[in-house]
């Protein structure tokens, strides 16, 4: 570990010692420090206990990028399964107790019961999809395997026979995987995909980067043809020798394409380009940064795959006429380009089951009408939601009023014209991650006997129960084009 270029001040012990855990402090200069978070002394300083020190250490929060608690795991599981999304982008795990024309009342494990004005709530997910998170990270490099092919200039075409680690093509840093322009594969170990799944990840890249997302890999070994040096068979073998039969979602300069690799019964490798139903492959980056949030949804019982970029549907494919179809259970990433200008970063990976919803998230909001999506993932109704109680939802529609059983409702997205505008985020506000799906943006004010006192722009002063916090993010705006240090371990 590098020497930390930060001054330290000894303080008294903290009230959080009784729930201390193995936490990680990540600094903006990429230094890391293992130890135990002890709370905040004020808005600009946090207290830390390191194994290398017998006294508390005081750190200026302006030097900190992120804190991970208990390796990204809450100390206790949530007792509720619903979610609400606020107009400032915060997502609150909760139980939705009731709603009337003005307020939504929720109960949470981490801030107790709260009554929130309806104008501050973008959506309520009463029975959200994806309560079972298969994987979320990367919080540690231990769950991943890196494979680098031989890259000799005098490559004789047989490099697929063996893989050799020379210099690692992927480096773990700042809870992300970086590739600085080297060919090589990244494989997630010991995580099996459900039969129908949804995978999200954040991809940042330079304009020339060429990253491939691999899924349904079975690692079946092909037979290497030494005489097929430049043939398509040999090109396919370079993929199948690492991943076996698999699907590949290729992401390059504003376009995507889906391919399928198979190791056939005779051991030969084949590649099939899959034509999208829409006939399109291009997408428009809806953000002003070099980053995009990708989402892949696959249901192999219905023979369908769909890809989204920043919540916008960009492609959909039918698998009905394909045989054989890869049915492996593993995922990974593969970098196909080499050179100092081919930069890429992968982060914020989430894998969960999928219930078959094909709608873009953007299509679930209307300027003047509330949208009610049913739990079957297909049916929706529009109008004005007038109330929610423990048994049912009342909807006043254009043609009829409806009473819908609550357990048949997946989500309610409120009319955007009726929502209040939120103020621009303060520089003192930071992101508190709650479990695996929750996030609260607030200003830390201090520490209580059982949590952290924060000031929230909508919910006012809160006492966050520390047991449910999994991370705190101070700086989430760094770009892939910035110089990075990949020694974070």
What residues contact residue 276 under an 8 Å CB cut-off, 6+ apart? Answer: 258, 315, 316, 317
How far apart CA 184 and CA 389 sit, in angstroms, is 53
Residue spans of the domains in the chain: they are 10-68+423-473, 82-124+375-418, 135-353
Q: What is the pLDDT of residue 279?
A: 53
Closest CA to 259 of 247, 269, 268: 247
Q: How many of the other CB atoms lie within 10 Å of CB of 384?
A: 17
Report yes or no: 377 and 356 within 8 Å, Cβ to Cβ.
yes
- H helical segments located in 292-425: none
Q: How many of the other CB atoms lie within 10 Å of CB of 345?
A: 25
How far apart CA 433 and CA 136 sit, in angstroms, is 13
Closest CA to 61 of 39, 48, 44: 44
Q: What is the pLDDT of residue 281?
A: 55
How far apart CA 120 and CA 103 sit, in angstroms, is 9
Q: What is the pLDDT of residue 352?
A: 83
Report yes or no: 261 and 326 within 8 Å, Cβ to Cβ.
yes
DSSP category for residue 235? H
Note the CATH architecture for domain 135-353: Sandwich (2.60)
Q: pLDDT tens digits, the chain, 489 residues: what are they?
A: 333 333 333 333 333 443 445 788 888 887 888 898 888 777 788 889 887 778 888 999 888 988 988 877 788 888 888 999 999 989 999 999 999 989 999 999 999 999 999 999 999 988 875 446 788 888 788 899 998 764 443 343 443 334 444 568 898 876 789 887 788 899 999 899 988 898 999 888 765 566 799 999 999 999 876 665 554 456 788 899 999 999 999 876 667 889 999 999 988 899 999 988 865 555 554 443 467 888 899 998 889 999 888 778 888 899 998 889 999 999 999 987 666 556 788 988 988 887 665 554 445 678 899 999 887 666 889 999 999 999 999 999 988 899 999 988 988 999 988 888 776 666 678 899 998 778 999 998 888 887 889 999 999 999 999 899 988 988 765 443 343 333 332
Structure tokens belonging to residue 422: 């939120």
Closest CA to 349 of 143, 80, 129, 487: 143
Cα 29 versus chain centre, distance: 24
Buried b or exposed e, range 371-383, using 16+ CB within 10 angstroms: bbbbbeeeeebbb
User: Counting beta carbons within 10 angstroms of the beta carbon of residue 76, is it exposed (0 to 12), middle (13 to 18) or buried (19 or more)?
Assistant: exposed
Structure tokens belonging to residue 160: 């697929």
- The number of CA neighbours under 13 Å toward the Cβ of 243 is 32
User: Could you give the C-alpha distances from 251 to 126, 201, 248, 335, in angstroms and in order?
Assistant: 34, 12, 9, 10
Q: How far apart are the two ends of the chain, measured CA to CA in Å?
A: 9
Please give the sequence-ordered ranges of beta strands (E in DSSP) within 81-191, or none if there are none.
82-86, 91-99, 103-108, 112-117, 121-125, 135-137, 144-147, 171-173, 176-179, 184-188
Q: How many of the other CB atoms lie within 10 Å of CB of 320?
A: 9
The C-alpha torsion from 465 through 469 and 471 to 475, rounded to 10°, is -40
How far apart CA 407 and CA 281 sit, in angstroms, is 38
Closest CA to 482 of 247, 264, 290, 201: 290
Structure tokens belonging to residue 140: 């540690």
Q: Which helix (H) or strand (E) holds 123?
A: strand 121-125
- Cis peptide bond upstream of 324, omega within 30: yes
Q: Is 68 helix (H, G, I), strand (E, B) or coil?
A: strand
How far apart CA 157 and CA 145 sit, in angstroms, is 24
The C-alpha torsion from 172 through 173 and 176 to 180, rounded to 10°, is -70
Q: What is the pLDDT of residue 425?
A: 61
User: Could you give the C-alpha distances from 137 to 70, 470, 485, in angstroms and in order?
Assistant: 13, 12, 19
How far apart CA 193 and CA 59 sit, in angstroms, is 41
How far apart CA 328 and CA 346 sit, in angstroms, is 22
How far apart CA 259 and CA 319 sit, in angstroms, is 11
How far apart CA 208 and CA 49 sit, in angstroms, is 44
């Amino acid at each position: 570990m590098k020497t930390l270029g930060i001054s330290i001040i000894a303080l008294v012990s903290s009230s959080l010692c009784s729930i201390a855990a193995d936490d990680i402090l990540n600094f903006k200069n990429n230094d890391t420090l293992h130890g135990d978070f002890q709370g905040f002394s004020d808005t600009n300083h946090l207290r830390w206990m390191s194994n290398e020190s017998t006294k508390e250490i005081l750190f200026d929060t302006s030097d900190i990028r992120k804190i991970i608690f208990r390796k990204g795991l809450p100390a206790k599981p949530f007792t509720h399964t619903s979610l609400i999304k606020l107009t400032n982008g915060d997502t609150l795990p909760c139980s939705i107790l009731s709603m009337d024309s003005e307020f939504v009342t929720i109960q949470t494990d981490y801030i107790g019961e709260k009554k929130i004005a309806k104008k501050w709530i973008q959506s309520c997910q009463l029975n959200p999809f994806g309560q079972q998170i298969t994987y979320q990270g990367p919080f540690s490099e231990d769950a991943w395997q890196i494979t680098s092919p031989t890259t000799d200039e005098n490559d004789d075409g047989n490099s697929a026979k063996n893989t050799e680690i020379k210099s690692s093509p992927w480096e773990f840093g700042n809870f992300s995987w970086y590739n600085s322009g080297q060919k090589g594969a990244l494989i997630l170990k010991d995580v099996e995909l459900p039969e129908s799944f949804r995978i999200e990840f954040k991809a940042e890249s330079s304009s020339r980067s060429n990253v491939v997302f691999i899924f349904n890999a079975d690692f079946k070994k092909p037979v290497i043809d030494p005489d097929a040096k430049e043939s398509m068979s040999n090109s396919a073998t370079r993929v199948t020798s690492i991943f076996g039969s698999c699907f590949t979602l290729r992401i390059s300069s504003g376009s995507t394409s889906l391919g399928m690799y198979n190791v056939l019964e005779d051991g030969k490798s084949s590649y099939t380009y899959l034509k999208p139903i829409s006939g399109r492959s291009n997408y428009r980056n809806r953000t002003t940064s070099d980053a995009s949030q990708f989402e892949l949804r696959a249901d192999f019982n219905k023979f369908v795959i769909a890809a989204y970029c920043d919540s916008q549907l960009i492609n959909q494919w039918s698998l009905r006429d394909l045989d054989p179809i890869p049915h492996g259970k593993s995922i990974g990433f593969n970098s196909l380009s080499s050179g100092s200008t081919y930069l890429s970063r992968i982060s914020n990976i989430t894998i969960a089951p999928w219930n078959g919803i094909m709608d873009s998230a953007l299509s679930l909001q209307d300027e003047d009408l509330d949208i009610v999506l049913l739990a079957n993932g297909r049916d929706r109704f529009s109008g004005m939601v007038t109330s929610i109680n423990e048994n049912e939802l009342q909807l006043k529609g254009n043609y009829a009023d409806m009473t819908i059983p609550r357990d048949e409702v997946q989500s309610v997205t409120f009319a955007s014209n009726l929502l209040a505008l939120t103020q621009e985020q303060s520089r003192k506000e930071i992101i508190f991650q709650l479990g695996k799906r929750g996030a609260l943006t607030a200003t830390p004010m201090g520490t209580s006997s059982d949590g952290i006192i924060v000031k929230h722009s909508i919910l006012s002063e809160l006492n966050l129960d520390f047991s449910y916090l999994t991370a705190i993010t101070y700086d989430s705006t760094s770009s892939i084009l910035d110089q990075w240090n990949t020694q974070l371990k």
